[in-house]
C-alpha cells in the first residue's frame, strides 16, 4: 500500500463546488490562474490516495496550465513582436522600393511596422482565445474526475468496488473521437489498482499507465484548439490591417490606392511574414515551464540524472497494458531515442514527448512546488490579476 501523504496542506482540498466556480469564471486570465492553482491543490490532496512517491496527472497539469497562462495573458507579445520585426526587416528592405512607391517615404517607414504590430496583436488574441478554450475544456472534464477520485478513494486502502463503480458511473463509454471516455475509464481502473498495490514498482507502473491514458484523452480533446492556434492567419490579418490603415490615413488616401492594388502589391511580403510567424508560433507553443527548467519540446526532454533516464521503478516496463499502450504510441518500452516532439500539431508527436515526460518526472518531488506565491494566490482569489511574473 502507498504511504499516506504528509505534505503540508496550505490550501483545502478542492470540492466539486470549487471546480464549478472556476469553470464559470468569465475572465480567461483569472480562470487560468484558478485552474492552475486547483490542479496543484488536487495533486497535493491526492497524496492521501496514492502516497507521495508517484505524481498523478494533476501534477503535470499544474505546469502545463501555468505555461498556457503565458499565452492566454499574451505575455509573449513584446518579445515576439521584437523578434518578428527583426526577422522581417530583411524582407521589408527587399521590398523598400515598392513600399515607397505605393505608400510614400513616410508611409514606407511607418505603415508596415505599425500594421505588423496591430496584426500580431490581433493574431495573438486568437491564439489566446484558443489556448483559453483548451484550458477550460480539459479542466471542465478532468478536474471533477479527480475530485471524485479524491473523495471516493480516500480512506482505508481496501478493495472497494462500490467506490470504483461510483467514479466510473459519471464517465461515458466510447472512443474520444465520438465524445466517449474509454481512455478515462481505463485510467480510473488503473488508478484504483495503484491505490491497492503493495509493491512500489507495480504501483509506479499503474500510475504511469493511468497518467498516460489521461494524457492521451486530454491531447485528443485539445487537437482542435492546438491546430487552430498554430494556424492563426497572420497573412490575412496583416493585409486586412494594411487596407484599414490606408483607408484611415489622410496621406495614404491622397495617393488613391485601390484595395486590390494594395493586397496584390503586399501579398509576397504578407506570405513571408506568415511563414515567419508559423515558425515562431510553433516554437512559442512547444515549450513547457517546469519548476526547475523550461523544456523546449522540439528537443529531447532532460533526464532526471546523468546516470539514468527514468526513476528506478520505471526503468523497465513490464505491465502488459502499459507495454501495449507504449507500442500503440510508437514507443518501445525501453526506447530512449527521439524523445522530442517535432510537430506540435501532431497528436502522435505530442504523445511521443509526453509519455517520456510523465515517465521521467513521475517521482520528481519538484512537481509538488507551488505554482504561485501566497500573495499572488491571495490576489487572484480576490478577483485581481497579480502583478509581476506569473
pLDDT at 112: 75
pLDDT at 259: 75
pLDDT at 352: 85
Is the per-residue pLDDT at 194 higher than 70?
A: yes
The C-alpha atoms of residue 109 and residue 92 are separated, in whole angstroms, by: 10
Tally Cβ neighbours within 10 Å of residue 254: 9
Kindly tell me the burial class for residue 129, based on how many C-beta atoms sit within 10 Å of its own C-beta (0-12, 13-18, 19 or more): middle
Q: Are 358 and 63 in contact (CB under 8 A)?
A: no
pLDDT-derived band at 95, boundaries 50, 70, 90:
low
The C-alpha atoms of residue 276 and residue 143 are separated, in whole angstroms, by: 37
pLDDT at 306: 44
pLDDT at 299: 59
pLDDT-derived band at 254, boundaries 50, 70, 90:
very low
User: What is the per-residue burial (b if ≥16 Cβ within 10 Å, else e) of 204-233?
Assistant: bbbbbbbbbbbbbbbbbbbbebbebbbebe
| Averaged pLDDT, 325-344 | 69
- CA distances, 95 to each of 78, 109, 262, 268 (Å): 25, 12, 13, 9
Higher pLDDT, 191 or 302: 191
Is the per-residue pLDDT at 215 higher than 80?
A: yes
| Averaged pLDDT, 42-52 | 93
Query: Could you give phi then psi for residue 295, rounded to 5 degrees?
Result: -80, 135
Higher pLDDT, 111 or 305: 111
The C-alpha atoms of residue 139 and residue 61 are separated, in whole angstroms, by: 9
Q: Are 195 and 4 in contact (CB under 8 A)?
A: no
Is the per-residue pLDDT at 387 higher than 70?
A: yes
Higher pLDDT, 162 or 333: 162
Helix (H) / strand (E) containing 162: helix 161-168
| Averaged pLDDT, 68-91 | 81
| Averaged pLDDT, 337-347 | 67
The C-alpha atoms of residue 224 and residue 205 are separated, in whole angstroms, by: 30
pLDDT-wise least confident of 22-36, 43-57, 118-132, 280-294: 280-294
Higher pLDDT, 104 or 269: 269
Helix (H) / strand (E) containing 377: helix 374-381
Q: Are 255 and 102 in contact (CB under 8 A)?
A: yes
pLDDT digits (tens, 9 = 90+) for 287-334: 888 998 888 766 555 554 445 689 999 999 999 999 999 988 877 656
Count of positions (residues) in the chain: 390
pLDDT at 173: 96
**Residue 298 in grid coordinates:** 522540439
Q: What is the pTM of this model?
A: 0.88
Longest Cα pair distance anywhere in the chain, in angstroms? 82
pLDDT at 108: 54
Is the per-residue pLDDT at 348 higher than 90?
A: no
Q: Are 85 and 116 in contact (CB under 8 A)?
A: yes
Kindly tell me the burial class for residue 302, based on how many C-beta atoms sit within 10 Å of its own C-beta (0-12, 13-18, 19 or more): middle
Is the per-residue pLDDT at 78 higher than 90?
A: no
Helix (H) / strand (E) containing 296: strand 294-296
pLDDT at 260: 74
pLDDT at 323: 94
The C-alpha atoms of residue 172 and residue 179 are separated, in whole angstroms, by: 8
pLDDT-wise least confident of 100-109, 228-237, 286-295: 100-109
pLDDT-wise least confident of 70-79, 88-97, 280-289, 300-309: 300-309
Dihedral sign of CA atoms 308, 314, 320, 325 in order: negative
Is the per-residue pLDDT at 92 higher than 70?
A: no
The C-alpha atoms of residue 345 and residue 222 are separated, in whole angstroms, by: 10
Kindly tell me the burial class for residue 12, based on how many C-beta atoms sit within 10 Å of its own C-beta (0-12, 13-18, 19 or more): exposed
The C-alpha atoms of residue 313 and residue 360 are separated, in whole angstroms, by: 11
Which stretches does DSSP call E strand in 48-88?
Answer: none
- Which of 92-106, 289-303, 331-345, 369-383 has the highest average model confidence (pLDDT)? 369-383
Q: 3-class SS at 345?
A: coil
- CA distances, 42 to each of 215, 332, 353, 357 (Å): 16, 31, 24, 20
The C-alpha atoms of residue 148 and residue 171 are separated, in whole angstroms, by: 11
Is the per-residue pLDDT at 2 higher than 60?
A: no
Q: Are 152 and 166 in contact (CB under 8 A)?
A: yes
Q: Give me the residue spans of the domains in the chain.
A: 16-381
| Averaged pLDDT, 72-98 | 74
Q: What is the mean pLDDT of the chain?
A: 85
Q: Name which of 204, 213, 216 is nearest 359 in CA terms.
A: 204
pLDDT at 115: 83
Amino acid at each position: 500500500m502507498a504511504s499516506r501523504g504528509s505534505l503540508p496542506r496550505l490550501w483545502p482540498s478542492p470540492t466539486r463546488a470549487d471546480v464549478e466556480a472556476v469553470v464559470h469564471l468569465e475572465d480567461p486570465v483569472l480562470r487560468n490562474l484558478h485552474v492552475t492553482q486547483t490542479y496543484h491543490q488536487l495533486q497535493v490532496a491526492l497524496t492521501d490516495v496514492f502516497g507521495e512517491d508517484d505524481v498523478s496527472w494533476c501534477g503535470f497539469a499544474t505546469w502545463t496550465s501555468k505555461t498556457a497562462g503565458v499565452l492566454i495573458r499574451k505575455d509573449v507579445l513584446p518579445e515576439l513582436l521584437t523578434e518578428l520585426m527583426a526577422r522581417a526587416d530583411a524582407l521589408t528592405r527587399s521590398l523598400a522600393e515598392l513600399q515607397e512607391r505605393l505608400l510614400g517615404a513616410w508611409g514606407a517607414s511607418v505603415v508596415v511596422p505599425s500594421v505588423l504590430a496591430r496584426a500580431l496583436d490581433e493574431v495573438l488574441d486568437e491564439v489566446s482565445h484558443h489556448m483559453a478554450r483548451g484550458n477550460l475544456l480539459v479542466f471542465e472534464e478532468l478536474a471533477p474526475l479527480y475530485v471524485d477520485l479524491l473523495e471516493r478513494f480516500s480512506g482505508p486502502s481496501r478493495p472497494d468496488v462500490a467506490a470504483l463503480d461510483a467514479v466510473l458511473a459519471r464517465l461515458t463509454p466510447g472512443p474520444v473521437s465520438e465524445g466517449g471516455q474509454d481512455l478515462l475509464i481505463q485510467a480510473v481502473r488503473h488508478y484504483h489498482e495503484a491505490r491497492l498495490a503493495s509493491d512500489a514498482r507495480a504501483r509506479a507502473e499503474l500510475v504511469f499507465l493511468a497518467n498516460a491514458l489521461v494524457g492521451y484523452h486530454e491531447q485528443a480533446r485539445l487537437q482542435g484548439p492546438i491546430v487552430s492556434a498554430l494556424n492563426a492567419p497572420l497573412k490575412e490579418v496583416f493585409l486586412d490591417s494594411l487596407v484599414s490603415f490606408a483607408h484611415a490615413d489622410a496621406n495614404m488616401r491622397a495617393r488613391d490606392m485601390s484595395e486590390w492594388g494594395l493586397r496584390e502589391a503586399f501579398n509576397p511580403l504578407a506570405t513571408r511574414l506568415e511563414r515567419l510567424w508559423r515558425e515562431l508560433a510553433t516554437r512559442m507553443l512547444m515549450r513547457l515551464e517546469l519548476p526547475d527548467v523550461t523544456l523546449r519540446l522540439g528537443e529531447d526532454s532532460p533526464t532526471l540524472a546523468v546516470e539514468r533516464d527514468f526513476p528506478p521503478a520505471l526503468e523497465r516496463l513490464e505491465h502488459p497494458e502499459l507495454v501495449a499502450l507504449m507500442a500503440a504510441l510508437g514507443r518501445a518500452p525501453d526506447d530512449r531515442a527521439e524523445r522530442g516532439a517535432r510537430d506540435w500539431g501532431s497528436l502522435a508527436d505530442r504523445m511521443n514527448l509526453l509519455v517520456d515526460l510523465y515517465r521521467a518526472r513521475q517521482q520528481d518531488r519538484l512537481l509538488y512546488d507551488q505554482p504561485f506565491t501566497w500573495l499572488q494566490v491571495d490576489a487572484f482569489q480576490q478577483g485581481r490579476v497579480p502583478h509581476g511574473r506569473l
